[in-house]
Amino acid sequence: MNTPEEALVRRARRHLGVGVGLVITALLALAGGISYAVLVRGQEAQIKSELAWGAANGTVPGPPACSWVFWYSHGSFLGSNTPPPPGLPVRADAELVAATGHPHDSRLTRDGTRYYVHTERRGDTVVQVVFDARFQLSDRRHLLYAFTLAALVGLLAAVLTGVLVGRHAVAPLVEALARQRRFVADASHELRTPIAQVHTRAQLLARRGTGGRDLARLVASTRRLGEIVDELLLSARLAADARPEVEPVDLVALATDAVAAESDLAAERGRTITLTTPGGPLLVAGIESALRRVFSELLANALTHLPPGGRIAVTVARRGDQAEVVVQDTGAGFDPADAGRIFDRFHRGPGAGDRRHGLGLALLQEVVTGHGGTITARSPHGSGAVFTFCIPLLTLREEVRIARPRWHRRGDPAPAGRGT
């Protein structure tokens, strides 16, 4: 199971690596595009210059095999400087210039070869110069091949650079998260013992009846303080790299135990709790203590906000390949606008008072998402609250793998008296 911190680090590395790779690739593409554009523009200028010079002088400065000059007069071509290839000269261009008197440029392709054609009037004669651009086009193709190869090599280098930069850049974030996690775990661990001692002494004083209401408040405060420390410690453990071993956990059994534990308290306050189950176990791979905390926290949260005569309905059901648990109460509910923030740490909506929308619900979300599930909260029309969480069911293969003896797992030594 992936922790939220691990997911955050991976996401930061991925975004940074992709960003660096895209920047390097874009720079390479820009440099290649500019180089190609400069080459094409230079070749086009050279070709136009040679065509104009050929038309003015009746000959070409370049190799004769690549350029031809034709003379056209009174509806027919008079000749050329060298024998032309098939398809040349271009009669339509000559006739157009003879009729209008304006110079004309065109391009045509014959047998895979591109020709640049310039036609203009020189006195009573029309001169047409044709340039064979096969060598220039070959240079362009070679340049494109070189750019493509360079782009592929550059892309590989960009990916590697992005990965390295991402790892080095995110390293401080990893260290900060680790330090934060260790601090929470250490602080919670160190606070548990003195808080437990204060709570025990307050209970003893309350039983002796020497404090009355103030002692009852002290007992409640120390109990709540101990719960906060337990929640912090559990949150740190869930976010730690070394996670407890998962095991098959029956959500139906946990729901039954949680409802039984809260039913007496609910009855004393005039509330009722009902439980609906599918009649058989629903096994998930998880940490039993953490999942048990989810049920107890949801029920405690509902009882806190339930008026006398209120009801809590707990439903455990199978939904495809997931187990779904719904805890619905008939309390005052919450502002539907707070549904997206209700699982934020220490969030309290307007007029929440002592309503616990704080660390407990944020911890529940960590537990559920850490088990590969989802949890949502809604308050239809602002009346009553409905908490729903879903966790993937355990497949038979996973159940066998998780339930097999630990000494069969890779890397674990076999107990004494057993072979490997």
Tokens of 39: 């080459």
* Three-class secondary structure assignment of the chain: CCCHHHHHHHHHHHHHHHHHHHHHHHHHHHHHHHHHHHHHHHHHHHHHHHHHHHHHHCCCCCCHHHEEEEEEECCEEEEECCCCCCCCCCHHHHHHHHHHCCCEEEEEEECCEEEEEEEEEECCEEEEEEEECHHHHHHHHHHHHHHHHHHHHHHHHHHHHHHHHHHHHHHHHHHHHHHHHHHHHHHHHHHHHHHHHHHHHHHHHHHHCCCCHHHHHHHHHHHHHHHHHHHHHHHHHHHCCCCCCCEEEEHHHHHHHHHHHHHHHHHHCCCEEEEECCCCCCEEEECHHHHHHHHHHHHHHHHHCCCCCCEEEEEEEEECCEEEEEEEECCCCCCHHHCCCCCCCCCCCCCCCCCCCCHHHHHHHHHHHHCCCEEEEECHHHCCCEEEEEEECCCHHHHHHHHCCHHHCCCCCCCCCCCC
Half-sphere exposure of 209 toward its Cβ, with a 13 Å CA cutoff?
0
Please state the rounded mean pLDDT for residues 245-274.
88
For 184-205, what is each residue's pLDDT tens digit? 665 665 566 667 767 776 777 7
Measured distance CA(112)–CA(127) in Å, rounded:
25
Residue 82 has pLDDT above 90, yes or no: no
Neighbours of 85 (CB within 10 A): 13
Of residues 283 and 208, the one with the higher pLDDT is 283
Strands, sheet with 322-329, edge to edge from the N-terminal-most edge strand: 272-276, 311-319, 322-329, 386-392, 374-378
**Does the predicted TM-score (pTM) go above 0.95?**
no
Q: How far apart are CA 37 and CA 66, in angstroms?
A: 23
Read off the pLDDT of each residue in 9-14 and give the average, rounded to a whole number. 72
The CATH number of domain 244-406, selected from 2.60.40.10, 3.90.740.10, 3.40.50.720, 3.30.565.10 = 3.30.565.10
Q: Where along the chain do its domains lie?
A: 4-138, 244-406
Does 276 have pLDDT greater than 60? yes
Cα–Cα distances (Å) from 140 to 44, 85, 105, 274, in that order, read 12, 23, 22, 79
Residue 354's pLDDT is what? Answer: 44
pLDDT tens, residue by residue, 112-170 = 788 899 999 988 899 989 988 888 888 888 888 888 888 788 778 777 777 777 677 66
Q: Give the pLDDT band of residue 389 (cuts 50, 70, 90).
A: very high
Q: Kindly tell me if the per-residue pLDDT of 50 is higher than 70.
A: yes
Task: State the average pLDDT for the chain.
Answer: 77
For residue 325, give the nearest of 350, 297, 355, 353 by alpha carbon. 297
Name the pLDDT band for 214 (thresholds 50, 70, 90).
Answer: low
